[in-house]
C-alpha cells in the first residue's frame, strides 16, 4: 500500500515536517507520483502500519479469506459483483488490451448480453480500477460495499447533516486544513457529537476528488487536473509535423571536473515515429541546452511545424517563450513616445509553433516519457553506476551504497564526462535504428524506419540568418556615447553614433559573447556591435571571467585586512611645524562655536516680532494705518 505524505500526517496526527523527519530516521521507502511522495507501508514499523490499516479500515485478510466479504453482502450486491466478474472473464479471453476491450465492449462486439446487463458506458478508468481491486482482493474487491438498499448508507453514514456540514466547512477551504484539524474543530463547535476520528476520516476521503480540488486547491488546479485529455491520433501526422521537447536526469553518476554528478539530457523527439532528432547532454539544464538540442534537430532535419514542450521554468523563460517590453521610440515627426514591443522567443522566431503541455496530463508528452523509461532500463542500469530513480529502486543502506560509488571514483571506475557524451551518442543511434516499437501506427518498425516512411516530400530548411537572430538573448538597452552596455561589457559600432539616447533591442549571442545584434522596435537588424574588451584571449566571456575573479580576490583581501585604528591622535605635519617655530596652533574647531554662540545671544536680545512683521517695518505700518 502507498500513502501520500498528507494522509500519513493526518493518520499519525503530526505535522508534515515531523513526518518527514520520522521517515528519514526509520528509512521509509517512497515513490514519486503526481509531484509528491507516496510512502510504501511495507517499509514502515509495525505500529505505523497498524495505524494506517486502522485509519483506512483495511483488514489483514489471508488468501482464503478473500471471498469473505462476498458472502456477507446482500443478494443485489452479489449480483453486481458477479456481473463485473463476468466482464473481467470476457476480458481475459478476448486477448485485447484494456483500452481496446473497453471500446469493443461499448460497441457490443464482446457480448450484447453483458452490455445490456451493465446498462451504461464502461470507462477505461472504471475498468482499470476493477482489474486492480480484483488482483488484490479477488471477487470481494469488486463487490459494492454500500448499495442503495443497504442500511449502512456509505462512508459517514453515522454522521448527522450538521456534522457533515461542519466538516466540509473546514475541510473544503483554500487553507487546506488537515483532517485532524477538521475533527478538532468539529468537537469544539459541536461538543455533544459522538463522531470518531476514523468516521470523519472516511467521510472526508469519500468526497468527490473534483469537489476537493476545486475548493482546496483553486480554480486553476481544478481545471487542469480534471480537464479531459483528448489523445492525439498520431497516425494522421507526418514526420517533423509535431515534435516533443523535455529534460530528464539520468539515474547514474559520472565524474565531471573531479566531482560526481548526475547528468541531464535535453531531447527533441518526433511524435509520429518516436525518433530522437536532437539532444544535449549537460550538468545543468537551461534554455541554452534546450536551444542546443533544437539547433541540432533543425540543422539535420529541418524546422518542425509544432513543438510541444514541458511547463518547466526553463521552457517558460524569456529566451524560449519570448517577452513583451516597453520601448521609447520616435515617430516621423520626431516626437518621442512609448509603445509595447513583442520580442518573440527563439523557437517561434525560427518558424515553429510553440505549445505547452497540459498540466497533470503526462499523455501530452507521452513519447518523451516512454523514451526516458527505455533509457533508464536499457542504458542507466547497464552503466555500473546506476543509483535508482526512487528509494524503492535503490539499495537499503544508502551510506554503504555511496561509499562504494566513491570507492569506484577513486579507482577511476566511474566514467568521465567525455565518455558519457560519447556513450549517449552511440546509444541514441542504437535506439533509432534497432529498437522495435509496438505503438499504434508503427508496429514492427524502428523509429528510423517509421520516420523515413512518413517523411514529407518538402522539408522546411532553416534560414541561417533567421536562426542566428533566434538563438540570442534579447534585452532592451539605451544607446550611450560609449555604445550599448550589457552586464559589465560595452559593445560599439559606428552605426550607433547617431542613435545616442535612443532605445534599441540588443540580441546577445548565446555562444559568442563578443558581439550583439542591434535591432529596432520592429525587429529589423540595424547593425552588429562588438565588445570593446579584448585583453589577452580575444574572447569577451573569458576576459570577463578573469576580471570578475580578480575583483573577487581583491575585495576578499581588503575585507580580510581592515585598517587598524590608532590608540592616540597623531600630530600632522602642520602642527609639528608650528611647534618647531614656537607659534601657537590656531584652534579652528573651538573658534567656530564661539561665533555661533555670539549670534545666538544677539537673537535672544532682539524683541519678538509678530506673525506679519517680517514683511513690514513699523514706519510702513503707520503709513498704512493713517
- Exposure on the CB side of residue 70, measured as CA atoms within 13 A: 19
**Phi, psi (rounded to 5 degrees) for 566:** -80, 150
Query: Which of 22-31, 315-324, 404-413, 562-571 is the least confident region?
Result: 404-413
Q: Is 426 helix (H, G, I), strand (E, B) or coil?
A: helix
Q: What is the pLDDT of residues 317-346, one digit of tens each?
A: 888 888 888 888 777 777 778 888 888 888
Q: Taking 50 as the threshold, does the pLDDT of residue 592 lie above it?
A: no
Spell out where 93-198 has E strands.
Answer: none
Three-state SS string over 465-508 comes to HHHHHHCEEEEEEECECCEEEECCEEEECHHHHHHCCCEEEEEE
Alpha helix positions (H), 138-218: 161-171, 179-189, 197-205, 209-217
Q: What is the pLDDT of residues 355-371, one digit of tens each?
A: 888 777 666 778 888 89
Q: Taking 50 as the threshold, does the pLDDT of residue 462 lie above it?
A: yes
Could you give the CA distance from residue 208 to residue 200 in angstroms, rounded to a whole number? 15
Q: Taking 50 as the threshold, does the pLDDT of residue 84 lie above it?
A: yes
Q: What is the pLDDT of residues 114-163, one digit of tens each?
A: 888 898 899 988 898 888 888 877 887 788 764 433 344 456 677 888 99
Q: Taking 50 as the threshold, does the pLDDT of residue 579 lie above it?
A: yes
Confidence of residue 394 (pLDDT cuts 50, 70, 90): low
Q: Taking 70 as the threshold, does the pLDDT of residue 200 lie above it?
A: yes
Could you give the CA distance from residue 466 to residue 299 in angstroms, rounded to a whole number? 13
Q: For the stretch 288-304, what's the b/e string if a residue is b when 16 or more beta carbons lie within 10 angstroms of its beta carbon?
A: bbbbbbbbbbbeebbbb
The number of beta carbons lying within 10 Å of the beta carbon of residue 444 is 9
Q: What is the pLDDT of residues 372-382, one digit of tens each?
A: 999 988 998 88
| pTM for the full predicted model | 0.57
C-alpha cell at 149: 438498499
- The alpha-carbon radius of gyration of the chain (Å, integer) is 38
Q: What is the pLDDT of residues 525-543, one digit of tens each?
A: 888 888 875 444 556 666 6
**Phi, psi (rounded to 5 degrees) for 563:** -75, 125
What pLDDT does residue 155 have?
Answer: 65
What pLDDT does residue 69 have?
Answer: 61
Integer CA distances (angstroms), 272 to 73, 275, 428, 534, in order: 50, 8, 17, 48
Q: What percent of the chain has pLDDT over 90?
A: 19
Confidence of residue 77 (pLDDT cuts 50, 70, 90): confident
What pLDDT does residue 305 have?
Answer: 93
Q: Taking 70 as the threshold, does the pLDDT of residue 452 lie above it?
A: yes
Q: Taking 60 as the threshold, does the pLDDT of residue 195 lie above it?
A: yes
What pLDDT does residue 535 have?
Answer: 45
What pLDDT does residue 61 have?
Answer: 38
What pLDDT does residue 451 have?
Answer: 92
What residue ranges define each of the domains in the chain, with the CATH number in brackets? 161-226 (1.10.10), 234-453 (3.30.420.10), 472-541 (2.40.50)
pLDDT averaged over the chain? 79
Q: For the stretch 133-156, what's the b/e string if a residue is b when 16 or more beta carbons lie within 10 angstroms of its beta carbon?
A: bbeebbbbbbbbeebeeeeeeebb
* Element containing residue 606 per DSSP (H, E): none
Residue linked to cell 481544478: 222
Q: What is the pLDDT of residues 466-501, one digit of tens each?
A: 888 888 888 889 998 888 888 778 888 888 888 888
Amino acid at each position: 500500500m502507498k500513502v501520500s505524505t498528507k494522509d500519513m500526517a493526518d493518520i499519525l496526527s503530526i505535522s508534515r515536517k515531523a513526518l518527514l523527519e520520522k521517515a528519514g530516521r526509520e528509512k521509509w521507502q517512497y515513490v514519486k507520483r503526481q509531484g509528491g511522495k507516496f510512502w510504501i507501508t511495507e517499509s514502515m514499523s509495525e505500529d505505523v502500519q497498524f495505524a494506517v490499516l486502522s485509519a483506512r479500515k483495511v483488514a489483514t485478510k489471508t488468501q482464503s479469506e478473500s471471498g469473505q466479504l462476498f458472502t456477507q453482502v446482500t443478494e443485489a450486491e452479489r449480483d453486481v459483483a458477479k456481473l463485473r466478474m463476468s466482464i473481467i472473464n470476457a476480458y481475459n479471453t478476448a486477448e485485447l488490451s484494456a483500452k481496446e476491450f473497453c471500446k469493443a465492449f461499448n460497441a457490443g462486439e464482446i457480448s450484447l448480453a453483458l452490455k445490456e446487463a451493465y446498462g451504461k458506458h464502461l470507462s477505461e478508468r472504471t475498468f482499470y480500477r476493477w482489474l486492480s481491486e480484483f488482483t488484490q482482493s479477488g471477487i470481494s474487491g469488486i463487490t459494492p460495499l454500500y448499495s442503495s438498499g443497504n442500511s449502512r448508507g456509505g462512508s459517514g453514514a453515522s454522521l448527522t447533516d450538521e456534522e457533515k456540514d461542519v466538516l466540509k466547512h473546514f475541510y473544503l477551504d483554500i487553507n487546506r486544513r488537515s483532517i485532524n484539524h477538521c475533527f478538532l474543530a468539529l468537537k469544539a463547535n459541536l461538543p455533544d457529537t459522538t463522531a470518531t476520528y476514523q468516521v470523519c476520516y472516511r467521510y472526508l476521503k469519500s468526497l468527490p476528488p473534483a469537489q476537493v480540488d476545486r475548493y482546496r486547491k483553486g480554480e486553476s488546479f481544478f481545471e487542469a487536473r480534471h480537464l479531459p485529455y483528448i489523445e492525439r491520433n498520431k497516425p494522421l501526422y507526418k514526420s517533423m509535423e509535431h515534435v516533443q521537447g523535455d529534460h530528464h536526469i539520468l539515474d547514474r553518476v559520472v565524474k565531471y571536473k573531479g566531482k560526481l554528478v548526475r547528468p541531464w539530457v535535453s531531447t527533441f523527439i518526433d511524435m509520429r515515429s518516436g525518433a530522437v532528432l536532437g539532444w544535449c547532454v549537460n550538468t545543468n539544464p537551461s534554455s541554452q541546452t534546450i536551444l542546443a538540442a533544437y539547433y541540432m534537430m533543425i540543422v539535420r532535419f529541418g524546422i518542425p511545424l509544432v513543438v510541444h514542450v514541458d511547463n518547466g521554468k526553463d521552457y517558460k523563460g524569456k529566451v524560449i517563450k519570448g517577452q513583451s517590453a516597453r520601448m521609447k521610440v520616435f515617430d516621423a515627426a520626431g516626437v518621442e513616445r512609448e509603445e509595447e514591443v513583442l520580442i518573440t522567443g527563439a523557437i517561434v522566431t525560427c518558424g515553429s509553433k510553440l505549445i505547452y503541455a497540459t498540466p497533470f496530463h503526462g499523455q501530452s508528452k507521452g513519447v518523451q516519457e516512454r523514451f526516458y523509461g527505455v533509457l533508464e532500463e536499457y542504458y542507466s542500469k547497464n552503466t555500473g553506476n546506476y543509483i535508482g530513480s526512487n528509494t524503492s529502486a535503490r539499495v537499503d543502506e544508502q551510506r554503504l551504497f555511496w561509499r562504494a560509488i566513491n570507492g569506484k571514483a577513486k579507482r577511476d571506475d566511474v566514467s568521465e564526462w567525455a565518455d558519457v557524451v560519447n556513450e549517449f551518442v552511440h546509444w541514441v543511434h542504437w535506439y533509432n535504428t534497432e529498437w522495435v516499437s509496438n505503438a499504434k501506427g508503427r508496429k514492427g518498425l524502428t523509429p528510423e524506419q517509421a520516420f523515413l516512411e512518413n517523411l514529407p516530400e518538402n522539408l522546411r530548411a532553416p534560414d541561417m540568418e533567421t536562426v542566428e537572430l533566434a538563438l540570442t538573448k534579447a534585452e532592451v538597452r539605451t544607446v550611450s556615447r560609449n555604445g550599448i552596455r550589457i552586464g559589465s561589457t560595452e559593445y560599439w559600432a559606428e552605426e550607433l553614433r547617431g542613435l545616442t539616447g535612443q532605445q534599441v533591442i540588443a540580441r546577445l549571442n548565446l555562444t559568442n559573447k563578443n558581439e550583439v545584434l542591434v535591432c529596432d522596435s520592429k525587429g529589423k537588424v540595424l547593425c552588429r556591435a562588438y565588445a570593446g574588451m579584448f585583453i589577452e584571449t580575444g574572447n569577451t566571456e573569458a576576459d570577463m571571467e578573469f576580471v570578475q575573479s580578480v575583483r573577487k580576490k581583491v575585495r576578499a583581501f581588503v575585507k580580510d585586512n581592515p585598517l587598524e585604528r590608532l590608540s592616540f591622535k597623531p600630530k600632522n605635519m602642520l602642527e609639528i611645524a608650528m611647534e618647531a617655530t614656537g607659534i601657537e596652533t590656531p584652534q579652528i574647531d573651538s573658534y567656530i562655536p564661539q561665533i555661533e554662540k555670539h549670534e545666538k545671544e544677539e537673537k535672544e536680545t532682539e524683541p519678538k516680532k509678530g506673525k506679519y512683521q517680517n514683511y513690514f517695518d513699523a514706519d510702513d505700518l503707520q503709513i498704512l494705518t493713517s
